Copies of this chain bind each other. A is one copy, B any other.
Amino acid sequence: MPQLASKDVLRADQFSKDEIEVIMNLAHEYEGALTDGRTLNVMEGQVLCTLFYEPSTRTRLSFEAAMLRLGGQVISVAEAKSSSASKGESLCDTIKTVEAYADVIVLRHPQIGAAKEAAEATSKPVLNAGDGAGQHPTQSLLDLYTIQKEKEAVDGLTVTLAGDLKNGRTVHSLALLLANYDVRFLFVSPGALSMPAKIVDRLREAGISVKMAEDLAGALRESDVLYMTRIQKERFDDPSEYDRLKDSFILTRKHIEDARNGVVVMHPLPRVNEIAEDMDDYSGAAYFRQAANGVPVRMALLALVSGRA
């Protein structure tokens, strides 16, 4: 039986497969309680501090809702930069203070490694809610939970990651997390924005089949899951290259006609225009259900690292 009590949640690839299963199962149990409207008191008397050095409404609200649904309470700094940090305080000093106020800390910070630094400064559990271009492990866990829920089993699936695969921490973390399962990857991106070789190598070493492509429509014909991300103009050295490619990375209802039956469409949100609105009533459009899954998954993590489950 894996022990997550007092552990930090810093990276998507820190978990053993057993630990992942424990998280998924507990999230599933909590989702049932939410659906039935059962009140939980798992975190009664506990206080969560959400400490956000850059705003992220979705992630912050989702963690806070998770804590409240478990019967806990929340203190929050929605925009930490305007306060102590601006007075020149180091992150470590802030954490060593906040640990006296809260039992568990959720940190969002623009710098890679900030969550690790915070975790080393305190004995209280720290959950990484995004550290710049680094990691966003709870996003990856809710992505995995969504795939499992939408498709019942993860083993055997063909998963397509599409868009900007070079800069997206979300797709990097998800790819590494899915390497615990028997999946097949299609990576669809402009050549300039392809998945880093380092990650492709790690996947192949783990025995995972990886295929690169530039054609979204073609990939959709063999995909069980499509995970879309946005490509941004400012990532291209050559703007004409962006203009040539941008339309082929906008998913519309038209794409679904030729896609594999039942393909599940995911997106970390917020979207701008990379998924057309006509996709929203497609039954496999899972991105809002995916966001909703953040609550039970984060409930599971909060309860486990607090030793309450």
User: A residues bordering B, Cβ < 8 Å?
Assistant: 37, 39, 44-45, 47, 49, 55-58, 61-62, 64-65, 68-69, 73-75, 77-80, 82-84, 87-89, 93-94, 96-98, 100-102, 269-272, 288, 291-292, 294-295
Contact = CB atoms under 8 A, between A and B. Distances in A.
Contacts of A89: 269-272
Give the number of times this chain occurs in the complex, counting copies: 3
Contacts of A94: 57, 270
Contacts of A80: 57
Scoring A55, A62, A101, A292 by chain B CB atoms within 10 A of each residue's CB, the highest score goes to A101
A97 B45 contact: no
A288 B96 contact: yes
B68 A47 contact: yes
B288 A97 contact: yes
Given A93-B271, A270-B93, A55 B39 contact: no
Given A270-B84, A270-B93, A295-B101, A61 B49 contact: yes
A297 B102 CA distance: 16
Nearest to A87: B270
A83 B56 contact: yes
9 contacts: A57-B94, A62-B101, A65-B75, A77-B78, A78-B78, A79-B82, A96-B291, A97-B292, A100-B288
A60 to B, nearest CB: 8
B75 A55 contact: no
A291 B97 contact: yes
A101 to B, nearest CB: 4
Contacts of A61: 49, 75, 77, 98, 101-102
A200 to B, nearest CB: 29
Given A47-B68, A68-B47, A73-B68, A58 B97 contact: yes
